[in-house]
Structure 1
Amino acid sequence: MRVLVVHHDQRIAEALAIGTDWAIWTADRWSAGSRLIEHKAFDAWILDESIVGDQGLRMLAALRSFGEGHVVLWLRMPGSGVADLIDALAAGVTDCLRNPVDADDVKDRLRRAVTPCYESAD
């Protein structure tokens, strides 16, 4: 899985790499993250609300309008409210977690979101 992590704490990305075969790209600013998105295809994005903010939500909503189906985990700031959560979900966020996050929880949510939840009848 190819994962983009836009977060101020690069230890999150390092923790996600442990025990996985995921290719992980990191950015600590939205401008750097958006440049990566323009040039690479990712299976999942992990976006920190405090860095990405409204600009990131607008870009996500635009991509979703073109049928982009990648997984997006939104890491919410401790003080963000219900209105912020509603805005994120309306823009197309797959799942939300509140910062600080547990890397194992993030891994589990990504695996569930990317892997089908059913088995074939063969």
Structure 2
Amino acid sequence: MRVLVVEDDERLGVEVAAGLRYAGFAVDLAGHLADADFKISVNTYDCLVIDRGLPDGDGLHLVAAHRAAGHRVPVLMLTARDGLADRIAGFENGADDYLVKPFALPELTARVRALCRRREHPAPARLRLGDIDIDLPRRRVQRAGILRSLTPKEFAVLELLATRAGSVVTRSELIECCWDEMAEPASNVVDAVIAQLRRKLGAPPVIETVRGAGFMIGGEPFGP
């Protein structure tokens, strides 16, 4: 899942991005509205985390403009403006959640994860593929009842492949959804993570390489 953090306090932005990346998100950073607007126009995000007091305007104006244009990506306002009128304005202009500074990073992470999972047709909390059980909220994977220890990035890749079981996921799609703008698409980073996933999940292998196209997990995922 890919998140854009719009925050003009460089230190805070780096801390938030680091915390979200540690939790398995791909994170891009923007320090002002113009940069954020450009990144939203060229990338696909699962959630936006937006400060209000930015150098070139109020982050809420960006949210309102994108809602008016029909964009439905979830938005979390992260701001020091804690008045009731400020919170109401946030929701009335299209924000999905509102978190006041100072905040606890685990709470921010939980809120972002909940927003990323908000869909018109919500995904199940668990996915099963044969003897593989994926607990999405707890970020746990078991195979044949044995817990497999995955890194956040490995889990993100497995989650994307599992939710699209039976369909090919290209390297570009994996990088778009599971890495941020600092990733180097020409590198072998995707292949390295896939190789680690195969090793950790064990035999028989479940991730298939579709030559010239990408990767695929066969079958259809289903809930508990």
TM-score class, shorter: 0.7 to 0.9
Partner-residue secondary structure (3-state), 2:44: coil
Whether 1:50 and 2:53 are equivalent positions in the alignment is yes
Matched to 1:97, the amino acid is L
Matched to 1:66, the amino acid is A
Distance 1:53 1:118, change over 3 A: farther
- Selected match of 1:37 from 30, 40, 50: 40
Q: Deviation at 1:94?
A: 0.6
- Selected match of 2:19 from 9, 15, 20: 15
Matched to 2:115, the amino acid is A
Instruction: From the CA coordinates, give the structure whose radius of gyration is larger.
Output: 2
Would you say how many aligned residue pairs link Structure 1 and Structure 2? Answer: 120
Distance 1:62 1:31, change over 3 A: closer
Matched to 1:5, the amino acid is V
- More helix per residue: 1
Structure 1 residues not aligned, in runs of 5+: none
Distance 1:55 1:117, change over 3 A: same
Q: Is the 8 A contact 2:33 2:57 kept in 1?
A: no
Distance 1:70 1:14, change over 3 A: same
Q: Is the 8 A contact 1:2 1:24 kept in 2?
A: yes
Q: What whole-Å deviation, never above 9, does each CA across 1:8-47 have from its counterpart, x for those lacking one?
A: 2221111111131x21100122222122112212111001
Q: Is the 8 A contact 1:16 1:104 kept in 2?
A: no
Distance 1:108 1:117, change over 3 A: farther
Q: Deviation at 1:117?
A: 7.7
Q: What whole-Å deviation, never above 9, does each CA across 1:65-119 have from its counterpart, x for those lacking one?
A: 3332111010121x54111111111111010011122221111112222223866
What is the CA RMSD across the aligned residues, in angstroms? 2.4
Distance 1:121 1:18, change over 3 A: closer
Identity %: 28
Where relative contact order (Cα < 8 A, 6+ residues apart) is larger, the structure is: 1
Q: Which residue of 2 aligns with 1:6?
A: 6
Q: Distance in 1 between matches of 2:66 and 2:30?
A: 19
Partner-residue secondary structure (3-state), 2:23: coil
Q: Is the 8 A contact 1:6 1:48 kept in 2?
A: yes
Partner-residue secondary structure (3-state), 1:101: coil
Whether 1:111 and 2:113 are equivalent positions in the alignment is yes
Whether 1:97 and 2:99 are equivalent positions in the alignment is yes
